[in-house]
Amino acid sequence: MSFTNAQNETFDLLRGVNLSVEEGRITALVGGNGTGKTTLFNIISGFEKGYTGDVIFEGNSFNQLSAHRISLMGIGRMFQDGQLLSGLTLMENMKMASDDKTGEIPFSSLILPKRWKEAENKKEAKVKDILKRIFGENCKYLSMLNDNASDFSYGEQRILSLARLLMGEDRLLLLDEPTSGVNPVYIDTIEKIIREMVAEGITVLMIEHNMHFVRKVADTCAYLDDGVIAKVGPTAEVLDDKNVRNSYLGL
């Protein structure tokens, strides 16, 4: 995939990338810094324009569509610095991720009060169900639904923003370094949330630098090197490949 900058100069960052992601499985995209991993995510999710190449989801090509249009197709994303939105409560943060936007219609509570109330009750019930499934029937977050996002630690915001993705109806989720900067105490929870996503039929493609986590979680691993998918296959097979270990892991 090539790009054209503001000076109309064309250059290659991703060169001949060809990657198929297996439905209902976890695929890890690994590689050194600057190899194009986040750029590839930006292309898939509609935040990068001016490229050549095809992006196909469920048999449909959506080249150059806006990020909003792509999200409506069933593709969600957690960014590398993904956290809760400050100024909003935990409940409000969770409900914002719902595909039901009834409550966001101007004056909906006045014009359609019954429909608005039913929609809000349904979303709130789903929030509680997700928190119970992930963190337990008596988890502390059930009593903190009205607490401001800023009241939670960085690690808690990361796991809650990840759990928030279960509020939607996405069929593909792009997770950009889900364990980045997170205290090891939360990593098992992150794994649990990702496995819950797959249990719901969601396909997961993640960028991750924690190789222990990749080995433990990912079904498939794709190694991106110098803009090319240099190797793809079962996770252990890729990470144990001599060339991958030499060029990426330095082993």
Chain centre to alpha carbon of residue 59: 21
First to last CA, the chain: 30
Contact predicate 87/93, CB 8 Å:
no
- The whole-number average pLDDT for the span 46-63 is 84
Reply yes or no on whether the pLDDT at 216 is more than 60.
yes
pLDDT, tens digit, for every residue of 119-156?
A: 889 999 999 999 999 999 999 999 999 999 999 999 99
Q: 243 has which bridge partners? A: none
The residue count for the chain: 251
pLDDT at 21: 95
- % residues pLDDT > 70 (the chain): 88
Buried b (16+ CB within 10 A) or exposed e, 108-122: beeeeeeebeebbee
Mean pLDDT (whole number) for 233-250: 90
Does the CA dihedral 76-81-87-93 come out positive or negative? positive
Mean pLDDT of 206-234: 95
pTM reported for the whole predicted model:
0.88
The pLDDT tens digits of the residues spanning 61-119 come to 887 788 989 998 999 999 987 789 999 999 999 999 887 766 555 555 555 577 768 88
Of 207, 181, 50, 99, the residue nearest 194 (C-alpha):
207
- For the record, the structure tokens of 58 come out as 């469920």
The pLDDT of residue 169 is above 80: yes
Residue 62, burial from CB neighbour count under 10 angstroms (0-12, 13-18, 19+): middle
Contacts of 9 (CB under 8 A, 6+ apart): none
pLDDT score, position 125: 97
Average pLDDT on 237-245 reads: 94
pLDDT digits (tens, 9 = 90+) for 34-46: 788 998 999 999 9
Instruction: Decide if 27 contacts 218 (C-beta within 8 A).
Output: yes
Q: Mean pLDDT, the chain, as a whole number?
A: 88
